[in-house]
Amino acid sequence: MLRMSRLADYASVVMARLARDPQRVQSAAEIAAHVGVAPPTVSKVLKMLARHQLVVSVRGARGGYRLARSCAEISVAEIIDSVDGRSALTECGTAPGLCEYEKRCSVRGNWQSISRVVRQALERITLAQMMQPEIHVVDIGGITSRRQRALAHVGC
């Protein structure tokens, strides 16, 4: 099963909370109370999001956080990256030289292609879309046709 980290999941929930009222500054405690995540965890996530310029930190007695840009300009990929870093489905998909079998691996290129498609789908989905009742379907029809061609070529 492919999964993002729990913190990345929390980051998406925190961003969705901020997106409900994007101009209003909300405290970490307020956000934590609304989303049901422990305040220290929400604070940690908000600091990561601020470091990646997805939220703006406002100091002072009425301080807190708000979105740095419109929710239509923030992708799910950016939210995940802010917490987990840029990732891929396999080690060899993140950077060359991480896997000792990389040079003789017969499926490396395919995993890299799959990672690219997953990445592109996450880049296409915005925080604004995540706020909708249903997520918009991302067309992955090209994957099926490539897979079918590959299977036909291999004889599977």
* Residues of the chain above pLDDT 70, percent: 83
* Contacts of 69 by beta carbon, 8 Å cutoff, 6+ apart: 54
Domain of 32 in residue numbering reads as 6-87+125-154
Number of domains composing the chain: 1
- The secondary structure of residue 75, as a DSSP letter, is B
In a domain? residue 103: no
Q: Which amino acid belongs to residue 105? A: C
Q: In angstroms, rounded to a whole number, what is the distance separating the alpha carbons of residues 111 and 90?
A: 7
In a domain? residue 143: yes
Do 48 and 15 contact (CB within 8 A), yes or no?
no
Nearest Cα neighbor of 16 from 90, 134, 156, 126 is 126
Q: In angstroms, rounded to a whole number, what is the distance separating the alpha carbons of residues 139 and 137?
A: 6
The per-residue pLDDT for range 35-58, each reduced to its tens digit, is: 999 999 999 999 999 999 999 999
In a domain? residue 118: no
Q: Which amino acid belongs to residue 81? A: D
In a domain? residue 116: no
In a domain? residue 97: no
Checking if the pLDDT of 21 tops 60, the result is yes
How confident is residue 101, by pLDDT bands cut at 50, 70 and 90?
confident
Q: What's the average model confidence in pLDDT over 89-109?
A: 77
